[in-house]
Amino acid sequence: MILLPAILASYLIGGLPIGFLLAKKVKGIDLREHGSKNIGATNVGRVIGWKYGVLVLLLDALKGAIPVVGASYFDSGFSLTATQILLGTTAILGHTYTPFLSFRGGKGVATALGVYMTLVPFVTICAVAIFVLVYKVSGFVSLGSIVASLSMPLWYLGISKLLPGSEYSPIIFLVLIATFFLITFTHRENIKRMLQGRELKAVPDAN
């Protein structure tokens, strides 16, 4: 029974619309009416300044890390890894479909970053490097996010098979694949704009 409240708490933590609330506090605006109209860190940086975007990125990542860390403090009846994945995934879904904004939230990237930086840190660092590379070359945060999420199950498979002392979990591998599909789905409008040549590029400082 303790798992159900933990799932609900993870969903609500993930659902906290930090970017939306910060834009309201700092600029008195509804972020859903500006820039790309998304409440995530990239649009926060684009609309109210990169420093605020970094802050939202860190806080949104924290929303993913908290449930994964918290899973260690109670017995769910399942393995620790399974519980961490369940609560972490729930937090990502909470961010993407926040109950506080009619179930329309962010793209899930920052919260997924927090989940996987806690769960598989070395794999996540490798994926972040891929993101930086793609972003530097293309100028598209969205493309960097999609390619980085695609690289994660590949990094995980390679590292767990080749690096001495590493363990392979098929559950983690499958969830990484599922996360890629979720992030690709949440970026579907970005993909359409890229194909049409209308996608917004680098994040300017709005200050």
**pLDDT, tens digit, 9 for 90 and up, residues 154-190:** 999 999 988 777 889 999 999 999 999 999 999 999 9
Paired tokens of 70:
């918290």
Which pLDDT belongs to residue 202? 60
Average pLDDT over residues 111-133: 97
Phi/psi zone of residue 196: left (φ > 0), alpha (ψ -120 to 50 degrees), beta?
alpha
Tell me which residue of 57, 90, 110, 104 sits closest to 175, measured CA to CA.
Answer: 90
| List of residues 6+ apart from 165 with CB closer than 8 A | none
Residue 192, token pair as written in the block: 């359409």
> Which pLDDT score is estimated for 161?
83
The answer on pLDDT for 1 being more than 80 is: no
Percent of the chain with pLDDT over 90: 87
pLDDT averaged over every residue in the chain: 93
**Which residues neighbour 53 within 8 Å (Cβ) at sequence distance 6 or greater?**
41, 42, 44, 45, 46, 203
Q: Is the pLDDT of residue 205 over 50?
A: no
Distance CA 2, CA 166 (A): 31
The pLDDT, as a whole number, for residue 155 is 97
SS3 call for 29: coil
The Cα–Cα gap between 144 and 137 comes to 9
Helix extents (H) in 35-98: 41-48, 50-70, 80-96
Ranges of H-type helices in the chain: 3-15, 18-27, 41-48, 50-70, 80-96, 109-119, 121-138, 141-162, 170-186, 188-196
At 148, the pLDDT band (50, 70, 90 cuts) reads very high
Kindly state the tokens that stand for 113. Answer: 């970053």
Give the angle 144-200-113 at the CA atoms, nearest 5°.
35
Tell me if residue 32 falls in helix, strand or coil.
helix
User: At 92, is the pLDDT very low, low, confident or very high (cuts 50, 70, 90)?
Assistant: very high
pLDDT at 86 over 70: yes
Q: Is the pLDDT of residue 203 over 60?
A: no
Average pLDDT over residues 64-75: 94
What is the predicted pLDDT for the residue at 206?
38
Please say whether the beta carbons of 179 and 22 come within 8 A: no
Percent of the chain with pLDDT over 70: 97
Region for 156 from its dihedrals, namely left if φ exceeds 0, alpha if ψ lies in -120 to 50, beta otherwise: alpha
